[in-house]
Amino acid sequence: MPYRFVNVSAGERIATVTLNNPPSNLLTTSVLTELDQIFGELEASDDIRVVVLTATGRFFCPGADMKELTLLATAYQGSELSGRGQALLNRIERSDKPVIAAINGTCLGGGLELAMACHMRVAASGIALGLPEIKLGLIPGFGGTQRLQRIIGPSQAAELILTGESITSEEALALGLLNRLAPADQVLPQAMALARMVTTKGRLATQAALRAIRTGLDSPFAEGMAREAELFGELCETADKKEGITAFMEKRPPRFTSR
């Protein structure tokens, strides 16, 4: 179905989800609603293997709509919005289909929280990234206080969150916040190339890998190891595992069938 603030296209088993809320792609409640609907549909689609999330214009997303923030006057209103954003970003992070953020421009506040919920991030050189909520008397509310420290460590995360200062994409790459940098006009092509690499792998193994990674984030080390062993064992019974080993021995590309 058509959406007002987000564009969706698909091809080669890859869905491209594009923020299109001019002039700067603010993360309004309407955008959150559309993204939630879209990712729900993509989760249910057997034709889609990977999702690439990007944006139109010069901005990826500079964060929330200030007009909407001024309307938050009670603890209930604030918590409700925070919970709504967290639920969407949790859906993205917990998807069995890899989601790659193609960050084409400025990425701040809720925009960076959205990007951090993706499994991988490719960004344009020379852009600004940050969580400036502290400058508004707030804190990140869509999971930023939790995801950033898991990605770059608690000390570095505390500095960015407590100062509210932005960093360049080059600095973000050095911190491990980004996977790759590219010239602005090559961000989406590089993200798509990464997506195509993933689509050549077996769907069952891809899902199992994401599930194992998620368990490691949510559970003690021993539980993560046990889950990894369980998933590894399940894959050993699949036709894809047999085909992968056979193809390797025969020195040819595997033909995975998701069985």
Q: Domain boundaries in the chain? A: 6-199, 203-249
155-198 pLDDT, tens digit per residue, is 999 999 999 999 999 999 999 999 999 999 999 999 999 999 99
Question: Per the residue annotation, which of 34, 80, 93, 113 is the catalytic one?
Answer: 113
Q: Scanning the structure block, which residue is given the tokens 């499994």?
A: 119
Residues 47-84, buried b or exposed e (16+ Cβ, 10 A)? ebbbbbbbbeeebbbbbbbeeeeeebeeeeeeeebbeb
* Assigned token pair, 37: 């609907």
Domain 203-249 annotated CATH 1.10.12? yes
Mean pLDDT of 86-90: 97
111-164 pLDDT, tens digit per residue, is 999 999 999 999 999 999 999 999 999 999 999 999 999 999 999 999 999 999
Residues sharing a CB contact under 8 Å with residue 159, sequence separation 6 or more, in sequence order = none
User: How far apart are alpha carbons 24 and 22 in whole angstroms?
Assistant: 5
Residues 175-189, buried b or exposed e (16+ Cβ, 10 A)? bebbbbbbeeebbbe
Question: Per the residue annotation, which of 12, 43, 93, 133 is the catalytic one?
Answer: 133
Per the annotation, the verdict on 113 as an active-site residue is yes
For residue 2, the model assigns a pLDDT of 80
Q: Is the pLDDT assigned to residue 1 strictly greater than 70?
A: no
Helix, strand, coil percentages in the chain from 3-state DSSP, rounded to 5: 55, 15, 30
Give 22's DSSP letter: T
- Domain spanning 6-199, CATH class: alpha beta
pTM: 0.95
At 202, give phi and psi (nearest 5°): -65, 135
